[in-house]
Amino acid sequence: MMLVAVFAAAVTGAAKAHGELIPVGTLPPGPNDAITDVAGVRVGQVTKIEGAPGPLVPGVGPVRTGVTVVLPNDDPWTKRVAAATFDLNGNGELTGAHWVDEAGFLEVPIALTNTLDVGRVDDGVVDWTIRKHPGIGVDDDVPLPVVAECDDQGLNDIQGRHVRPQDVVTAQVKYDRLDRAGNAVRIRLSSTVVQVKHVGEMATATEVEVSYSQQGKLKTVRASHCILACWHTMIPYIASELPDAQVAALRSSEKVPIVYTNVALRNWQAFVKLKAGSTYAPGNYFTNVNLDQRVSIGDYHATTRPEQPIVLTMHRFPCKPGLPARSQHRAGRAQLYGTPFAVFERNIREQLARSLGSGGFDPANDIAAITVNRWPHGYAYQYNSLWDPFWLDGGPQPCVAARQPFGRIAIANADADAYAYTDCAIDQAYRAVGELKVGVKS
């Protein structure tokens, strides 16, 4: 087997086998004994399980395969990491190995899949890298994907080559599978937690009791630990054991209201005439207007001709200029709750007529349908130097005080790092789990 050793990443120093620790390498293991203990390293995977166990039908199933992707950091193409390959034993292939050794660095994610799906995964890595860096192959270099393989034919219909990038886009989420009694991890759907507290004194408790409301009934569940991953402003209402200073820190977070609107157009000829695919106008009712992105994958087919229908996205961030940032978001939320659909529709029609009218756009004929998605609690509030002096001058950040674990309860959510995007939510969930694991007695 050929391995890629990412030197910037001090890969875990021990592996578990049959309950014993076998030392690997010279470095000590991290707190979770995982490659993701290394700061910035992320791992994603898709497991494909389709068809009941049974005789192999080549090209059909059963399917038992998948892909794992290791990202050394958020963008290896611009943040290369020192790397080399090493042959341990066996005969696994690793694409891109020559370039890794020649260059001495890694500039793509490392992907692992079954032997016959290497080409498809290679394709996915190239697509992903080009989407992130459109200059690739134009005025920038080209990536050589690093894909390692293993023959899974004893488990899987490998001939069927079931690993396809479009699965990720077109797969239906089967939510009910999250909420099954035998699951190792069970997510209780349509359940609102109303109270979380330690059973007995926090200092000596061995369990946490979570009370939740489901279909009008109050239910409880006990666990050795609990992570509160909800909005920080709600936590003091749910968990009454928190110290006052932490309550104040949790309450200082805020959510930004957002309106994401989709407008189905019968054609996009006006955009072609005006030679524009988007508009940005901070003073308008909708600040951004964008033609749908050109993504064709699986059953998704992007519109290619201007006489064909297309979806337009329009963004609005309700606010009240002149107030401090947090107050603006609260005022915007109140405004949003009080705005009927008719007001959105009128503004959509007026704004599109004004910005696209000279290209021949006619709202009465060209708009086929409108969907207004209102998010009164949208993005997590991000600190900024206008309203949060510590951001420029330095000083304690409220989100750090807010996310401190208490007893057997840890705190996650994007609010825990005052940053609006999903990567932060994942990092904070990971941190919260790690904090609890430290205290777990095996």
**Interface residue list for ligand FAD (CB under 6 A):** 192-193, 229-230, 234, 238, 258, 260, 375, 378-379, 413-414, 420-422, 425
- Residue 377 CB, nearest distance to ligand FAD (Å)? 8
Number of neighbours of residue 328 by Cβ within 10 angstroms: 20
Q: Which is nearer to ligand FAD, 192 or 240 (CB)?
A: 192
CA separation for the pair 194, 137 (Å, rounded): 54
- Residue 439 CB, nearest distance to ligand FAD (Å)? 22
Q: Which is nearer to ligand FAD, 161 or 377 (CB)?
A: 377
Q: Which is nearer to ligand FAD, 4 or 432 (CB)?
A: 432
- Residue 34 CB, nearest distance to ligand FAD (Å)? 21
**CB contact at 8 A, 6 and 106:** yes
All residues at 6 or more sequence positions from 413 whose CB lies less than 8 Å from its CB, including other chains: 228, 229, 230, 231, 232, 380, 425, 428
DSSP 3-state of 344: helix
CA separation for the pair 34, 354 (Å, rounded): 56
- Residue 375 CB, nearest distance to ligand FAD (Å)? 4
CA separation for the pair 402, 399 (Å, rounded): 5
- Residue 162 CB, nearest distance to ligand FAD (Å)? 28
Place of tokens 């042959």: 87
Residue 229: name the closest of 408, 409, 15, 43 by CA.
409
- Residue 336 CB, nearest distance to ligand FAD (Å)? 12
DSSP-derived letter for residue 117 is: G
Tokens (6 digits) for 408: 């057997």
Tokens (6 digits) for 345: 């529709």
Q: Which is nearer to ligand FAD, 193 or 370 (CB)?
A: 193
CA separation for the pair 337, 293 (Å, rounded): 30
DSSP 3-state of 208: strand
Q: Which is nearer to ligand FAD, 406 or 430 (CB)?
A: 430
Q: Which phi and psi (to 5°) does residue 86 adopt?
A: -150, 130
Q: Which is nearer to ligand FAD, 212 or 361 (CB)?
A: 212
Q: Which residues, in sequence order, are bridge partners of residue 210? A: 196, 221
- Residue 11 CB, nearest distance to ligand FAD (Å)? 27
- Residue 416 CB, nearest distance to ligand FAD (Å)? 8
For residue 165, cis peptide bond before it (omega within 30 degrees of 0) = no
Number of neighbours of residue 190 by Cβ within 10 angstroms: 10
Q: Which is nearer to ligand FAD, 351 or 428 (CB)?
A: 428
Q: Which is nearer to ligand FAD, 116 or 227 (CB)?
A: 227
Q: Which phi and psi (to 5°) does residue 64 adopt?
A: -140, 80
- Residue 412 CB, nearest distance to ligand FAD (Å)? 7
Q: Which is nearer to ligand FAD, 189 or 392 (CB)?
A: 189
Tokens (6 digits) for 78: 């611009």
All residues at 6 or more sequence positions from 286 whose CB lies less than 8 Å from its CB, including other chains: 259, 261, 314, 315, 316, 347, 348, 351
Q: Which is nearer to ligand FAD, 114 or 261 (CB)?
A: 261
- Residue 136 CB, nearest distance to ligand FAD (Å)? 22
